[in-house]
Every structure is written in C-alpha cells, then in structure tokens.
Amino acid sequence: MAAKVYINGTFYEQEDARISVFDHGLLYGDGVFEGLRSYGGKVFRLREHLDRLWESAKAIHLEIPISHQEMTDAVNESLQVNGIDDGYARLVVTRGVGTLGLDPAQTSDPQVIIIADRITLYPEEFYANGLKIVTVSTVRNHPAALSPRIKSLNYLNNILAKIEGKQAGCIEALMLNHKGEVAECTGDNIFLVRHGELLTPPREAGILDGVTRQAVIELAIESGLAVHEIPLTRHDVFIADECFLTGTAAEVIPVIEVDSRSIGDGTPGPITRDLIEKFHRLARA
C-alpha cells in the first residue's frame, strides 16, 4: 500500500510528496525530527515527543509554523488515513527553502512533514536472546558543540558510529562521550543492572533524553528498583549483571555481549525481562 504523506496540511501520495532541493533540511541537515510509535491506534507519549520536538526547534532557532494541537491532530490523521494501528510515524520540520548560503535568515516556509509507516523491528530473536554490541571509536558529539539533546536532521555522528558497528557485525553500537564515558547507542539509550539496581548515564553525559528511557525509569521506580543516573565507563558495562537498550523503535531490548565480554551469564537477565514485559503492558494500556 502506497503511503500518504503529510506536508504542510495536505496529504500527498508517496510519489508526489516532494521537497525542494533548496530546502536547508537537505542542504545542511538544518531541521529537527521525531520518531513516534502507535499502539492500537494511539501514539505512545505523544506529548513528550512533541515537547522534545519543540525544544529541539527552539535550540536551533526554528519556529514550528503550527501549534502543538495542530501537530497532534496531523499525526493522528496521518495514522488514520494510512490505516495504521500499530506503527511508526516520522515527524520532520525543515528550515525551508533558502539560498545556497548557510544563513537561515535567507530561508522561508519551514516544511512540516509526517510519514506514517509500518514498524520494522529488530528481528524477534534479538528480543529473546539479546544483542551483541561493540564500542565504536566515533565519539558522541561534544554537548558544548552540538547538544545530543537536539534531535536534528544532522545525524552523521550516529551514522558514522552505525557504519562502524555494522563493519564489526553488530546492528547497534555503543558510543562514548568526549570524556570517555558511556553515552548511548547510535539510536538507543543504554541501561545496566548491577546488584539489583538500575544504572544509566545522566543527560549531562551527552545523550538524547529518550522518551522510552524516561518511561523505563518510571516503570523501574514503580516496581521498587533504585535508579541511578550516573556517569558510567566501559568497565561498568563489562561488570554489569544485565544490560539493555531503550528506544521508540527498539522498545526495550536485551544486550548479552559488549566488546566480546559476556554481560552477566550471557543471557537476558530477569530484571530486563521483567521491564520488557512491563513496557509492553504500558505501551498497550
């Protein structure tokens, strides 16, 4: 089924959905985006995703030309017209058409794009058996240069890390920050379990403040687990009892090996499995 793509208030057939080659989203990666997930026709934590989109836009001096409510309606309509109950929606706001120079002041009309799609998950075996990942040498963007909290259209930092991970035979890869601390994976946040407590890098480590990360922290606290947002090193990862990743597309996925070290006993641990189940229940609630 061909997708109907929303651009600035109008739905276009996929092949007719077009953006100018002079759009600074294309020329410079100048724009912001979000990835959303719908379960049973309802978008998971839509308000949080929209808040983050508006925060990303604010950080880059981009004014989103529609309101939160209009965006909410447009997202829901996109899912409806495409007949998607369980799926994924990509929101993109570009800087708009401009001259060939960098200056955003020379651009006009930011483009608001919504692409609703079926979800392509990691293969089921990874949820059952866990992922093997590696640490890559591409350092996560220095937060003082370009904050990883901005979900911008310039994802080259993550793409370079992804390429390195794939070259090592892994579908996800761990990135360290400029201090050599654990930051996050190319498109997912990371958690460890150690002595029955949950550990995850703080926002200050230079990470995307994940919506799924926050949901998992809440679920863990509700179930009585202590959660520590603290700086972590690769050593902390190697000696963890359990490890898992969180993200809108991945949800919660176990990690059983990092840099050829087995994590715990090399199988998805009990706290990870419990949180996976709790997350599924929350998402479908």
Residues classed as catalytic:
151
User: Which region, left, alpha or beta, applies to residue 31 given φ > 0 means left and ψ of -120 to 50 means alpha?
Assistant: left
Task: Tell me the per-residue interface mask from 179 to 198 with ligand PMP, x by CB under 6 A, - otherwise.
Answer: -----x--xxx---------
Q: From the DSSP assignment, how many helices (H) and strands (E) are in the chain? A: 8, 15
Is residue 138 at the binding interface for ligand PMP, with CB under 6 A as the rule?
Answer: no
User: In angstroms, what is the minimal distance from the CB of 200 to ligand PMP?
Assistant: 11
User: Are 159 and 140 a contacting pair, CB within 8 Å?
Assistant: no
Q: Of 7, 14, 5, 9, which is closest to residue 81 (Cα–Cα)?
A: 5
User: In angstroms, what is the minimal distance from the CB of 9 to ligand PMP?
Assistant: 26
61: which 2 tokens?
A: 């001096």
User: Which region, left, alpha or beta, applies to residue 103 given φ > 0 means left and ψ of -120 to 50 means alpha?
Assistant: beta
User: In angstroms, what is the minimal distance from the CB of 252 to ligand PMP?
Assistant: 10
Q: Which of 94, 135, 147, 248 binds ligand PMP (CB under 6 A)?
A: 248
Q: How many chain residues interact with ligand PMP (CB under 6 A)?
A: 14
**Which range of residues in 13-21, 90-98, 99-107, 244-252 is near ligand PMP by CB under 6 A?**
244-252
* DSSP class of 140: P
Closer to ligand PMP at the Cβ: 147 or 189? 189
Closer to ligand PMP at the Cβ: 65 or 68? 68
Closer to ligand PMP at the Cβ: 102 or 281? 281
Is residue 213 at the binding interface for ligand PMP, with CB under 6 A as the rule?
Answer: yes
285: which 2 tokens?
A: 């609630």
Task: Tell me the per-residue interface mask from 86 to 125 with ligand PMP, x by CB under 6 A, - otherwise.
Answer: ----------------------------------------
Residue found by looking up tokens 């993550």 in the block: 158
Which run of H or of E encompasses 138?
none
User: In angstroms, what is the minimal distance from the CB of 43 to ligand PMP?
Assistant: 13
Instruction: Write down the H helix ranges in the chain.
Output: 24-28, 46-59, 68-81, 124-129, 156-167, 211-222, 234-238, 270-284
147: which 2 tokens?
A: 């904050």
- The contact set with ligand PMP (CB under 6 A) reads 35, 158, 184, 187-189, 208, 210-213, 246-248
